[in-house]
Structure 1
Amino acid sequence: MSDNRPTMIDTDVHNSMTGKQDLLPYLPKAYHQAWLAYGAGYGGSYLGTGAHSVTRRDARPDGGGPPASDPNYVIRHHLAPYGIDYAILTGSGILGISLVSDPDYGNVIARAYNDWLADTWLKASPRYKGSILINHSDPQAAVQEIERMGPHPDMVQVIMCSGSRNLFGQRMFHPIYEAAERHGLPVAIHPGTEGRGNAGPPTPSGHPTRYFEWHNIIPINYMSHVNSLVCEGVFEKFPELKFVAIEGGFAWLPHLMWRMDKNYKGLRDQVPWLKCKPSEYIRGHILLTTQPIEEPDDPAHLGQILDMIGGDHMIMYSSDYPHWDFDNPKVALRSIRRELRQRIFADNAIQLYGLSEKPGEGASV
């Protein structure tokens, strides 16, 4: 193995703006007032989102500002101490623009955010790689944004919120997948918007009462989207597409695979476009990230779950920095066998994002 091969890639770092004013130079003036007044505009949060707040207090830059709003401080505070070669940036408080009732507003915010990201964080250090934010409620505009930003050398995936009025396998989203596949970009989803904006309730029976309840059942939505993507034939239609389920854990996946394979035996006439078992599509096209990694009483059970999935290539490390439930890379995977840890920490992300060498000059601050 080359000495210049990355040894750790963090696939979920929530970079933040210093304030709403950061986006103003990238927005048409007609939208300035609305952005300053409403921001991303998709609603509030549950009470009690963590021990103190959603974000860690120690992630605030030395010079002030919101946590993870200074690219140089994030390198000193997070990347350098843990030996993280690359951080895949996933944004903060912005992903829910897909759930705003005005699609034009969502589109213009996504475009402005992507330009800001490219001009600030992606120029700050080669350690940073970006995610192209799209408004999935307007697939035609989302395709245009992928076409515009897809050629950028430091944009490595398309990202959209996991909250939605429709399941992601449905045909309205297929133009997004066609554009992403054509540019060689995976499509990623991230939680936090379930039950907000114009999305439906986060459970089939309505809204949880508290953040604790909501946080516990995030995998319900991920199971629904993965099930939809497979059953609607997305991966037959787009055989090179990869889909990344960020920050949803992975212990739920064996059960879903088993249930889908069992039902496929008796109900395959309803999905005649599927040419193999559902679990094979999942192993071939779905990737998941570790955070928030499940913590069974017996640590050995975690390795057994990974064996049940049967896809050592499917899991990537993510810290969720700077959120309260951040996963320390020195602790999170200690119970995982050594050869699999290296795949999770780096190899799987290297293959997905094409990051085969460590960052060049200017990577440290």
Structure 2
Amino acid sequence: MDIASSPKETANRKTSGIIDTDVHQSPKSKKDLLPYLPKVWHEQFLTGGIGLSNFYPTPIGVSRKDATPEGDGAAGSDPQFMIEHHLEAYGIEYAILTGGIETALALHPDVDYGNAVIRAYNDYMIENWLPVDPRFKGSIAVNVSDPAEAVKEIQRVGGHPDVVQIIVCSGVKTPYGNRIYHPIYEAAERFGLPFAIHPGSEGKLYPPTPVGYPTRYMEWHNIIPLTFMAHVNSMVCEGVFEKFPGLKFVGIEGGVAWLPHLMWRMDKNYKALRSQTPWLKMLPSEYIKQNVRLTTQPIEEPERPEELVQIFRMIDAEKTVLFSSDYPHWDFDNPKVVLPSMPREMKARILGGTAAELYGLTLRSEQSGGNG
């Protein structure tokens, strides 16, 4: 969705109850991470970064042109600018920081390098972002290619009071229902942290679709929901949510409208093929509604807005959908104009109520005894 109104136009509008579940922060430069990174990795990080190819650069740039702070640093690299330009401008009560390229380090062939740089990103975020404003809440990255070290990282920083989520890349070799990841889920459930995936790594090491490689960015961007469907299908069928009933899975920036189709297809096949998943005690759709959450951006926008409401009703959106803006990226969604035809109660839940429950946050309306 294009930006329909500027921050100046929305700055004076009273709002409450908005939790943005996808806000991208980053260091101003690679050098900012060096104090947190063992010296043995400095040269490799400065010269190579994540060291993975990017076949699909966007022709219009990654970020909004107006989101770049004055002076040095890219969009999303200045906490104070983000507070003014995003949190204050749109009345955001909490911003769930989701980082950037660090999750793709799980695809790096040197797991020790990946572990070290991911730890550095986490420490940089915890020290330089979370103390700046209580509205900032952090997502810690872990290296899913090294589950034992991922568990150690959760144990190391997962108890921080402003860390509310684990975040990983969505484009991986093995679907997330596989038992190799189960130790990560056990730790996530124990610390009460949702397990979130975010796109960006698709195509960097493995084909981004079951039929190979798209030609260009638009094709790649259109088909990202395939990855999310595969992971949800895998986690349900492999019994992740039966084994870890307290685990919440968050699909960030992967769309929403595909979920009814997937639920219906899974339920239909379960009725005939349940002998292959004897550990499931409910319909797949019940696990999805209980344990899966999806974010709105980039939201599908049919010509008739009421059709999106119908889709949202099919998936109990008041319980399963979270608002996200994807700030400061090019396809940012303005919370003031997104979901224009949603019923009031449904919209309030999506904008903040469901996220507050998921992340254990208190909205201002709740503090004042209002209805949200």
Check whether TM > 0.5. Answer: yes
Q: Does 1:22 align with 2:32?
A: yes
Q: Which of 89, 92, 97 is the aligned partner of 1:89?
A: 97
The equivalent of 1:347 in structure 2 is 353
Matching residue within 139, 157, 166 for 2:147? 139
Q: Distance in 2 between matches of 1:357 and 1:276?
A: 33
Among 308, 316, 322, which residue is 1:302 paired with? 308
In the alignment, is residue 9 of structure 1 matched against residue 19 of structure 2? yes
Distance 2:348 2:364 in 1: 15
CA contact (8 A) 2:166 2:196 kept: yes
Whole-angstrom distance in 2 between the partners of 1:358 and 1:70: 25
- Confirm whether residue 75 of structure 1 aligns to residue 87 of structure 2: no
- Matches of 1:330 and 1:6 in 2, distance apart? 11
Contact 1:261 1:279 in 2 (8 A): yes
* Paired residue type of 1:222: F
Question: 1:89 offset after TM fit, Å?
Answer: 0.3
Q: Displacement of 1:310 after TM fit?
A: 2.8
Counterpart Cα distance in 1 of 2:249 and 2:287: 11
1:276-291 mapped onto 2 (5 Å cutoff): 276-291=282-297
- Structure 2 CA distance, aligned partners of 1:9 and 1:203? 32
Amino acid at match of 1:139: P
Do 2:176 and 2:235's aligned partners in 1 also have CA atoms closer than 8 Å?
A: yes
Match of 1:167 among 158, 170, 175: 175
Partner of 1:157: 165
- For residues 167-186 of structure 1, what are the structure 2 equivalents within 5 Å? 167-186=175-194
Residue 288 of structure 1 aligns with an amino acid whose one-letter code is L
| 1:325 and 2:335 are equivalent in the alignment | no
Distance 2:268 2:316 in 1: 17
How far the C-alpha of 1:40 sits from its partner, in A, is: 1.8
Give, in angstroms, the shift of residue 242 of structure 1: 0.4
Say yes or no: does 1:33 pair with 2:43: yes
Question: Aligned residue for 2:204?
Answer: 196
Structure 1 window deviating more from structure 2 (347-356 vs 332-341): it is: 332-341
- 2:236 maps to which of 218, 230, 236: 230
Cα deviation for residue 45 of structure 1 reads 4.0
Residue 126 of structure 2 is matched in structure 1 by: 118
The question of whether the paired residues in 2 share the 8 Å contact of 1:6 and 1:356 is answered with: no
Match of 2:369 in 1: none
3-state SS of the aligned residue for 2:92?
coil
Cα deviation for residue 357 of structure 1 reads 4.2
For the residue of structure 2 that corresponds to 1:122, the secondary structure is: coil
Unaligned runs of 5+ in 2: 1-14, 366-372
Whole-angstrom distance in 1 between the partners of 2:16 and 2:356: 8
CA distance in 2, matches of 1:80, 1:177: 35
Give the aligned residue type for 2:90.
Answer: Y
Q: SS at the partner of 2:166?
A: strand
Q: Tell me, what secondary structure is at the counterpart of 1:97?
A: helix
Q: After alignment, is 37-46 or 185-194 more displaced?
A: 37-46
1-structure distance, mates of 2:353, 2:278:
35
Number of aligned residues = 351
Give the aligned CA root-mean-square deviation in angstroms.
1.3
Q: Which amino acid aligns with 2:319?
A: H
Which deviates more from structure 2 when the two are superposed, residues 27-36 or residues 329-338? 329-338
Give distance in 2, aligned partners of 1:310 and 1:263.
21
SS of 2:95's partner is strand
Distance 1:287 1:316 in 2: 7
Q: CA offset at residue 93 of structure 1?
A: 2.2
Measure, in 1, the Cα distance between the counterparts of 2:221 and 2:50: 21
**Do the aligned residues in 2 keep the contact of 1:6 with 1:355 (CA within 8 Å)?**
no
State the 1:358 CA deviation. Answer: 4.5
1:226-268 deviation digits (Å, cap 9, x = unpaired): 0000000000100110000001110000000000000001000
Measured against aligned partners, the alpha-carbon deviations of 1:265-289 in whole angstroms (never above 9, x if no partner) come to 1000000000010000000000000
> What's the offset of the Cα at 1:6?
5.7
CA distance in 1, matches of 2:50, 2:247: 28
- The equivalent of 1:363 in structure 2 is none
Q: Deviations over 1:292-322 (max 9, x none)?
A: 0001011111100001113421100000001
Q: Distance in 2 between matches of 1:281 and 1:355?
A: 24
- SS of structure 1 residue aligned to 2:41: helix
Q: What letter matches 1:224 in structure 2?
A: A
Task: Report the residue type matching 2:148 in the other structure.
Answer: Q
